Amino acid sequence: MLNFFKAYKKFAIVFAIISIIIISIFYNILKVDKPLPIYQPADVSTELVDSTIQHKIKYHKIADFSLINQNGDTITQETYKDKIYVADFFFTTCQTICPIMTDNMVDIQKEIKNDDEVMLLSHSVTPKIDSVAQLKRYAIKKGVIDSKWNLVTGDKGEIYRLARKSYLAVKDDGMPDDYGMVHTENFMLIDKKRQIRGYYDGTKKDEIKRLLQDLKTLKKEYED
């Protein structure tokens, strides 16, 4: 009888060790981050998307662009080549959600300021008001790091098309032939292929935390 219990004890120990190994393997498999989605126009609310592309279901990416930043420098898609970036739309005289969004973008800037792989890009929806000088004053006030974050102005039609045909993030104000834009609280996470990988409410701290976590997940795609 004693020998039986000794044998059973050995079996129990071996079984426990094997069980721990199996559980560890399954845990590591399950905790692997899932790839972030790639957003297409058909995935986004129609009020934010130009009617000509609302039903597009694949191959969407941010179009080429040429805009001017707070230092008077020309900013194009080449500025963001091989970069992950967070984009939004705002205007400097906004007194509602913009100050909150900008403060949250400042928080993101703090997290990525030493990361050469990540940048920020904010587009003005009132480019006539937001001159280079106005953007510079705003950038200084908010503590914008020029090498990390571009605040851009330029041709209103180009910004409108970027907003509604590329970033899928701005409402049309309904005025004919006016390129009227009603910006939203959206922050967009853009990958190195100029694809949209996430939308976030830029006024909410918990959404900023989610964005930063998604940023870590996205960076892992480029580790191999």
For residue 98, give both structure tokens: 């913009």
For residue 65, give both structure tokens: 């662009």
> What is the distance between the alpha carbons of residues 198 and 221, in angstroms, rounded to a whole number?
15
Residues annotated within a binding site for Cu cation:
94, 98, 183
Q: Which ranges of the chain would DSSP assign to H, the alpha helix?
A: 2-30, 98-112, 132-142, 156-161, 205-220
* E-strand stretches of the chain: 66-68, 74-76, 84-90, 118-124, 149-152, 170-172, 181-183, 186-190, 196-201
Amino acid at 156: K
Strand partners, 179: none
Alpha-carbon Rg for the chain in angstroms: 24
Sign of the torsion formed by the C-alpha atoms of 201, 203, 204 and 208:
positive
CB atoms within 10 A of CB 175: 8
Strands 84-90 and 118-124, by their bridges, are parallel
Please answer whether residues 157 and 63 qualify as being in contact, where contact means their C-beta atoms are separated by less than 8 angstroms.
no
